[in-house]
Amino acid sequence: MAPSLLAGWLADRVGRKTPLMISILWYSICNFIAGFSPSFWFLLLFRALLGIGMGTEWPAGAALAMESWPARSRGLMSGVLQGSWGLGFLLSSLVYGFLYQSWGWHGMLWVGILPALAVLYVRFFVRQPAVWVENRRRQREQQREVRVPLFSIFKPALLLNTFTACWWMASGFIVYYSIRAVFATHLQKDLNLSPGLVATPIAIANLVVFLFSGVWGVVADRLGRRGR
């Protein structure tokens, strides 16, 4: 949580691009180094470090994407962005299926360096959102700098908003874990299904998650974010 708050602070103070690039580089390199692991503890260390980079990518990336996209179809873009976790899981299972036999787990981890290419793209082709640039300029000009945004979100004007957003997010994560965390274990232990049979519904569901996140994005643009 602390690294993601640091990324949020950098994104608000220095710009959306900086923490995004740092986090992508961070987890790509950690993955690559983990691919050379001589021991279990080395592997564990670098996979744990990798988690820091993963957690910090989202706040900066989401703000950047949402500020850069026009309001009328922002819900769709939001769905595509968020639903891509399903696509990512699907891709990783494909990499596993096709390459694990020949490349082994070292090779799997080396593939993880590929996202680093995205840093080049962000560096040279992505602009800081105009909204952020102008907001930052006004903060300096009027000397009304928001130095510690983390305190500001608990000010009376924003407190209720922050609270309901936290409640909404917590509920979402509880559902996520309830549906997925032990589903594979449930099938294998309670119903004695083989691991191969278990992988199939999960892989298909991941694709469905991606497709329908786009669908719900369109619904959100038509009927509202709350969906009614």
Partner 1 sequence: MIIPAVIAIAVAPVYLLTSDITWIVLGFVVQGAFGGGIYAQNPSCLAERFPTEVRATASAFCYHQGAIWGGFMAPVLVYFPSSYDVSLAIPMLAGTVGGMISFTVAVLCGPETRGKELVPDLVVS
**209-228 residues near partner 1, rule: CB under 8 A:** 209, 211-217, 219-221, 223-228
> Cβ 103 to partner 1, closest distance in Å?
29
Select 32 or 210, whichever has its Cβ closest to partner 1. Answer: 210
Query: Of residues 22-81, which lie at the interface with partner 1 (CB under 8 A)?
Result: 55, 58-60, 62-63, 65-67, 71-72, 74-75, 77-79, 81
Half-sphere exposure of 85 (CA within 13 A, CB side): 8
Which two structure tokens, joined as six digits, stand for 65?
A: 């994407």
User: What CA–CA distance (Å, rounded) separates 57 from 7?
Assistant: 8
User: How far apart (Å, rounded) are the C-alpha atoms in residues 63 and 159?
Assistant: 20
5 binds partner 1 (CB under 8 A): yes
Helix (H) or strand (E) holding 226: none
Does residue 114 bind partner 1 (CB under 8 A)? no
Q: Could you give the count of Cα atoms lying within 13 Å of 221 in the half-sphere of its Cβ?
A: 17
Closest approach, Cβ 58 to partner 1, in A, equals 6
Least separation, in Å, of the C-beta of 85 and partner 1? 8
Among positions 16, 33, 34, 50, the unique one binding partner 1 when judged by CB under 8 A: 16
Residues 173-212, interacting with partner 1 (CB under 8 A): 173-179, 181-183, 185-187, 189-191, 193, 197, 200-202, 204-209, 211-212
Collapsing DSSP to helix, strand or coil, 143 comes out as coil
Maximum alpha-carbon separation in the chain: 66
Single out the residue of 4, 115, 117 nearest to residue 62, CA to CA: 4
